[in-house]
Amino acid sequence: GARFPRPDETRVFTVANQKGGVGKTTTAVNLAAALAESGLHVLVVDNDPQGNASTALGIDHHAGVLSTYDALINDVPLSDIVQASPANENLLCVPATIDLSGAEIELVSVVARENRLRLALRAYLEHRTREGLPRLDYVFVDCPPSLGLLTVNAFVAAEEVLIPIQCEYYALEGLSQLLSNIDLIRAHLNQELHVSTILLTMNDSRTNLAREVVGEVREHFPEQTLRTAIPRSVRISEAPSYGQTVIAYDPMSSGALAYLEAAREIARRGSAHTRGEELRVATG
Ligand code: ADP
Ligand code: MG
């Protein structure tokens, strides 16, 4: 059985930060792998045209493979699109192909354009129930580094937002814009959405700067910030080139252990943890 508690219902996370290179994809795939490793059923939706999450999970995503694009634009059910990760049959992925780069524009003229991913995901959860497949415990939607329609779709499909913050100078820059966008989504499109989780990434605890950033983030977001920070680790950055998460690639490495610990925290504290908190950040 699972070592981490199963949630009462499927928890859907959007992993977002409009900055690139802060660890969104690394966080989405490694938390997903850590939870799947403990026996839970997990889906990663690759919602970034770069397809980095698909690559990291060892999922085929060459042009022509059914992908997130087909769900958003062509009404293809996710049940026809999902692939299981070669490392773990409980770890599923909706891959992204290069097609998705056009979706941001094509979505503009689609009916209910903000709701596409939510509807696709709901239909898939119902499909699994109908087919007698195990209920999904976690869904992670990996977002591109922008606040466009792809990210809006992810915000509308989720209840929880997970924001990775890189432990470096300007870490909090851009965060007020992200939070006010989330407020807008909550006001107009999805009342349930809230920032439940902040994860400090690429931490180098030997530097004063990283220590200052960690302190500042914890001060601003005491309830949301996980106690576990992810260290900067070569093994984490090597794993994707083998089509593996660090959980599979080097399970005893500091990076793998940190993601396992972060996943445990997320599982233990549950979804009600931070619901209803208003987040503000005073920067610059
Ligand atoms: P994003 O999805 O926000 O653009 P990524 O997850 O792709 O960010 O990470 C950016 C780069 O940093 C990638 O090359 C990734 O392998 C690397 N990286 C992410 N987290 C770590 C870490 N903890 N230690 C070392 N490298 C990391
Ligand atoms: Mg990414």
Ligand that lies nearest to the alpha carbon of residue 259, given by its number in the listed order: 1
pLDDT of residue 278 exceeding 70, the answer is: no
What was the pLDDT predicted at 284? 39
Comparing C-alpha atoms, which of 85, 72, 165, 161 is closest to residue 119? Answer: 72
- Is 222 buried (19+), middle (13-18) or exposed (0-12) by CB count in 10 A? exposed
pLDDT, residue 69, reads 97
Q: Please tell me the distance between residue 202's alpha carbon and the centre of ligand 1 in angstroms.
A: 8
Beta-bridge mates of residue 139: 12, 43
- Specify the residue with its C-alpha closest to ligand 1, atom 13: 237
Q: Please state the atom number of ligand 1 nearest to the C-alpha of residue 48.
A: 2
Name the closest-CA residue to atom 18, ligand 1.
237
What would the pLDDT profile of 3-40 be if each residue is shown by its tens digit? 899 999 999 999 999 999 999 999 999 999 999 999 99
* pTM of this structure: 0.96
Atom of ligand 1 nearest to the CA of 201: 23
Residue 227: pLDDT over 60? yes
Question: What percent of the chain is predicted at pLDDT more than 70?
Answer: 96
pLDDT tens-digit series, residues 55-100 = 999 999 999 999 999 999 999 999 999 999 999 999 999 999 999 9
Rounded Cα–Cα distance for residues 142 and 204 (Å): 24
Q: Is the pLDDT of residue 54 over 90?
A: yes
- Look at the domain 11-269 and name its fold: Rossmann fold (3.40.50)
Which residue's CA is minimally distant from atom 20 of ligand 1? 23
